[in-house]
């Protein structure tokens, strides 16, 4: 029986590509129109896992998704780094000079902004999903519109790529998290964890925690702060850490608990080396 993977967007989106990379292609993709809907699908046992974008090397962190991690308390059991290659695609036979509109997800548009500076006559239209724009062109036979999407979408929806690799920075990747309900795990030795905590408002409280990690040879690969809703000057810190020696990690966590408030290990998993 195929594993059911909830993704934001539709088939041939970058989320499905990330799901293929992590699970292989023998999966049942559950298409959702928002990140919250993916979480609801997992919560209601309509899906076994969620694949959720959390940061892009050009556009930065996807902050609303940190809120969802906090709201739903799912376990992070893996990560995927996906190189983002963005292509301009249209119905077969459409010429570049015929184009009046380009449609894509706002983050994809932002990653290609240099390309469109040269063509101010083309109107940029934001949409919910890269692959959905490709599907819309196919379904409505739009001859004046192009989509920005991946090669998977061009192939699935029968479009022709008229400009390849239009992203501004060719070293462009998105990091995706693999989420599931607590208690479920994927085999493998963990060497990375995602943590969430708050600290007291006194001087040096965050520094004490960071120094513990440094003293135990724990690499801090990411730190993200988000305001605690409705509380002035209080923040949740989301931290990704990596280690080579498990006892060092265990010892660091025990010490950090003395200084952190609302401390949660959101997931322990194998770091993805492949970018």
Domain count, the chain: 3
- Is residue 46 located within the same domain as residue 176? yes
186 in any annotated domain: no
Same domain, 135 and 244: no
CB of 253 closer than 8 Å to CB of 202: no
Output the domain CATH number for residue 247.
Answer: 3.30.70.260
Largest CA distance in the chain: 65
The verdict on 76 and 120 lying in the same domain is: no
DSSP per-residue letters across 42-59: HHTTS-SEEEEEEEETTT
Can you give the pLDDT at residue 274?
64
Instruction: State the pLDDT at residue 139.
Output: 98
Domain membership flag for residue 252: yes
Residues 176 and 42 in one domain: yes
CATH number, domain at 110?
A: 3.40.190.10
What number is the average pLDDT over the span 234-244?
A: 95
What's the predicted TM-score (pTM) here?
0.92
CA atoms within 13 A on the CB side of 154: 19
- 153 with 37, same domain: the answer is no
Indicate whether 13 and 136 sit together in one domain.
no
Residue 62 predicted with pLDDT over 80: yes
What value does the mean pLDDT take over residues 72-92?
A: 96
Q: CB under 8 Å, gap of 24 or more: what pairs does 249-252 form?
A: 249/193, 249/216, 249/218, 251/216, 252/212, 252/213, 252/215, 252/216, 252/218
Could you tell me if 176 and 63 lie in one domain?
yes
Q: Which domain holds residue 242?
A: 192-269
Domain boundary among 180, 215, 240: 180
Distances (CA, A) of 55 to 43, 84, 191, 209: 23, 12, 20, 24
| pLDDT over threshold 80, residue 270 | yes
């Amino acid at each position: 029986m195929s594993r059911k993977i909830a993704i934001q967007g539709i088939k041939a989106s970058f989320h499905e590509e990330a799901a293929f990379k992590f699970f292989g292609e023998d999966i049942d993709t559950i298409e959702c129109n928002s990140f919250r809907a993916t979480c609801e699908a997992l919560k209601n046992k309509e899906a076994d896992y969620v694949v959720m974008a959390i940061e892009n090397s050009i556009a930065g962190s996807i902050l609303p998704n940190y809120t969802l991690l906090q709201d739903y308390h799912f376990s992070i059991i893996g990560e995927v780094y996906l190189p983002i290659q963005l292509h301009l695609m249209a119905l077969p036979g459409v010429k570049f000079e015929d184009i009046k509109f380009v449609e894509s997800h706002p983050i994809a548009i932002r990653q290609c902004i240099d390309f469109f500076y040269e063509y101010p006559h083309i109107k940029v239209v934001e949409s919910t999903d890269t692959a959905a724009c490709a599907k819309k062109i196919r379904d409505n036979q739009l001859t004046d519109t192009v989509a920005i999407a991946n090669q998977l979408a061009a192939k699935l929806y029968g479009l022709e790529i008229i400009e390849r690799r239009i992203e501004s920075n060719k070293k462009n990747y998105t990091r995706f998290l693999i989420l599931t309900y607590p208690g479920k795990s994927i085999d493998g030795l963990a060497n990375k964890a995602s943590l969430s905590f708050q600290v007291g408002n006194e001087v040096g409280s965050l520094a004490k925690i960071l120094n513990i990690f440094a003293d135990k040879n724990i690499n801090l690969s990411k730190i993200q702060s988000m305001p605690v809703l409705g509380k002035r000057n209080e923040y949740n810190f989301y931290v990704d850490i990596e280690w080579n020696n498990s006892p060092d990690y265990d010892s660091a966590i025990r010490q950090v608990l003395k200084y952190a408030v609302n401390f949660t290990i959101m997931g322990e998993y194998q770091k993805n080396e492949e970018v």
